[in-house]
């Protein structure tokens, strides 16, 4: 065999060796019972047609590769942003393994969360025993300051009552009676990770605010929402708050959890919003959400407590950052400092320097509802043209909002908005109405392979590239990062089209 102790090959090279290629060929021939190569090629070509597109877009009974995850993923992400809080999922071990691996693969950091380990017997008789044992073990072994409980499909289908189970666990002494255990019902079969984040955050704040009477102060609460770039973005928010002299509390801040140093110390709970800060947040002057579609229920609850609220849609680029900072200034009475004004000018200068390479470039954007709005606004700022805007977890109201954003600029005239569509539908869109580039998550690499349209990774999850999440995408500094990421791909494409010496290298320039 080609693999031995004297010759260790990476799997990329290993499986190209003749022994493996012959094995794969025998497997196809003897076991897969597939169609002929000619028939496969014929059907594959048909799937690129307008005829197939109409059938594909008309699908209602099945979803193929949606650009979204399920509610408990968002719930565990939200809970991880509170100092010492342990995310606890009432459901099967396999579900939690998926949530952990999804976050770990994106952030390249361990994601601490546990489950009640429900199995077949719990599906029949209920998960009370699992909840009691799970809470007791979690409290004893991991010594959290709080445990945040969410649910998966199994617990929701059989109708387990979280609050009753938690109360029973306390009555039986599994955990102390005064130990904080906020909870939220987060069924996986409806909504998305954005809804799970919202449900969990509402559950946490409602729990800690239950017996409190607001005593208004001058602080501002800021809720980032579900954000794969939370490490860079939350730190950028804190930097801007510091420059403005704003006393702000970031509610659910997992930045340090997903960016721990390698210094010999394991940090199961690394910083985050403290329980004291979560309680004090009821006294804030106002609450700002950076992502409207991650916080609809939470903002409604906060508004009912008498606080002013404001929601943004992923503030990326010049205009969106302007709006955020001006609203922050209005709420706090703090002026926008010269340092941020200079940063704004630098971003405008960078956009001007590069506009010739982006003007008229067409884009397909897919991702979460707020991300799509923020990215579309930024693309139009640099003179690019969004053509397809897709959010698997977007609805008709979201589509109407996106359309209004697109109508505000001539660069949005060609755009089509596709709420609720999956990435298999996007494939048909790209074959029939191709764009120059795609912006989305790592799952877009299969679209890139099939259609030949280059992918720019600027969303969640990013599994096949490293460390993007450490840099901001919000604010003027974030806008500069996104601009560079897009330009690098544009220049790589340009170089690849002019790289054959003596044939097409007339424009293979050192200066772009």
- Please list the active-site residues: 153, 157
At 340, list the tokens: 């941020």
Percent helix, strand and coil across the chain, each rounded to 5? 50, 10, 35
Nearest to 281 by CA among 309, 259, 261, 316: 309
What is the arrangement of strands in the sheet containing 220-223, beginning at the earlier edge strand?
A: 248-250, 220-223, 286-289, 308-311
Strand blocks (E) in 196-353: 220-223, 248-250, 286-289, 308-311
In angstroms, what CA-CA distances link 458 with 25, 291, 341, 362?
Answer: 37, 16, 25, 16
Q: Check residue 147 and report its DSSP letter.
A: E
Which residues, at least 6 apart from 494, have a Cβ–Cβ distance to it below 8 Å?
A: 357, 507, 512
Distance set, CA 215 to CA 8, 269, 300 (Å): 65, 30, 19
Any residues with CB less than 8 A from the CB of 40 and at least 6 apart, and which? 34
Sheet with 146-151, strands from edge to edge, namely 114-115, 85-90, 146-151
Separation between Cα atoms, residue 325 and residue 142, nearest integer Å: 40
Which pair of structure tokens corresponds to residue 101?
């691996």
Q: How far apart are CA 107 and CA 467, in angstroms?
A: 7
Output the DSSP codes for 308-324.
EEEE-B--BSHHHHHHH
User: Rounded distance, CA 446 to CA 298, Å?
Assistant: 35
CA trace torsion 188, 72, 375, 250 (10° rounding): 150
**390: Cα within 13 Å, side-chain hemisphere:** 27
Q: Given CA atoms 309, 314, 316, 318 in this order, what sign does their dihedral have?
A: negative
How far apart CA 222 and CA 85 sit, in angstroms, is 19
Contact 150, 183 (CB under 8 A): yes
């Amino acid at each position: 065999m080609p693999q031995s102790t004297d010759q260790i090959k990476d799997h990329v090279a290993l499986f190209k060796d003749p022994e493996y290629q012959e094995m794969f060929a025998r497997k196809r021939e003897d076991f897969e019972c597939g169609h002929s190569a000619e028939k496969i090629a014929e059907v594959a070509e048909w799937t690129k047609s307008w005829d197939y597109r109409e059938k594909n877009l008309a699908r209602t009974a099945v979803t193929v590769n949606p650009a979204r995850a399920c509610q408990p993923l968002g719930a565990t992400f939200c809970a991880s942003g509170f100092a010492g809080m342990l995310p606890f999922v009432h459901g099967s071990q396999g579900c939690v393994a998926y949530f952990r691996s999804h976050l770990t693969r994106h952030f390249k950091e361990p994601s601490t969360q546990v489950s009640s380990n429900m199995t077949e017997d719990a599906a029949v008789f209920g998960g009370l025993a699992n909840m009691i044992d799970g809470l007791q073990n979690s409290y004893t072994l991991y010594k959290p300051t709080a445990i945040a409980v969410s649910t998966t499909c199994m617990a929701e289908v059989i109708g387990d009552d979280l609050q009753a189970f938690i109360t029973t666990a306390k009555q039986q002494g599994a955990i102390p009676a005064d130990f904080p255990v906020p909870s939220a019902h987060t069924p996986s079969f409806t909504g998305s990770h954005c809804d799970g984040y919202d449900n969990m955050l509402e559950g946490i704040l409602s729990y800690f605010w239950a017996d409190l009477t607001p005593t208004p102060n001058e602080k501002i609460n800021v809720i980032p929402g579900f954000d794969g770039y939370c490490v860079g973005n939350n730190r950028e928010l804190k930097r801007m708050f510091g420059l403005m002299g704003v006393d702000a509390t970031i509610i659910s801040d997992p930045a340090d959890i997903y960016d721990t140093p390698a210094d010999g110390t394991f940090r199961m709970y690394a910083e985050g919003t403290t329980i004291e800060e979560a309680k004090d947040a009821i006294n804030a002057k106002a609450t700002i959400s950076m992502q409207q579609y991650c916080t609809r229920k939470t903002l409604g609850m906060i508004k009912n407590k008498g606080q002013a609220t404001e929601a943004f849609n992923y503030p990326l680029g010049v205009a969106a950052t302007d709006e955020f900072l001006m609203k922050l200034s209005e709420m706090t009475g703090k002026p926008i400092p010269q340092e941020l004004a200079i940063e704004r000018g630098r971003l405008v200068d960078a956009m001007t320097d590069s506009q010739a390479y982006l003007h008229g470039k067409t884009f397909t954007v897919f991702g979460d509802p707020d991300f799509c709005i923020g990215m579309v606004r930024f693309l139009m700022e640099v003179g690019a043209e969004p053509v397809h805007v897709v959010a698997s977890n977007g609805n008709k109201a979201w589509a109407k909002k996106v359309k209004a954003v697109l109508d505000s600029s001539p660069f949005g005239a060609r755009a089509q908005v596709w709420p609720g569509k999956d990435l298999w539908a996007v494939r048909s869109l790209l074959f029939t109405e191709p764009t120059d580039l795609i912006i989305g998550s790592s799952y877009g690499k299969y679209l890139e392979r099939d259609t030949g349209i280059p992918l720019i990774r600027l969303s969640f999850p990013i599994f096949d590239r490293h460390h993007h999440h450490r840099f901001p995408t919000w604010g003027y500094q974030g806008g500069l990062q996104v601009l560079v990421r897009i330009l690098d791909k544009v220049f790589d494409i340009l170089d690849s089209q002019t790289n054959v010496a003596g044939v097409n290298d007339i424009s293979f320039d050192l200066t772009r």
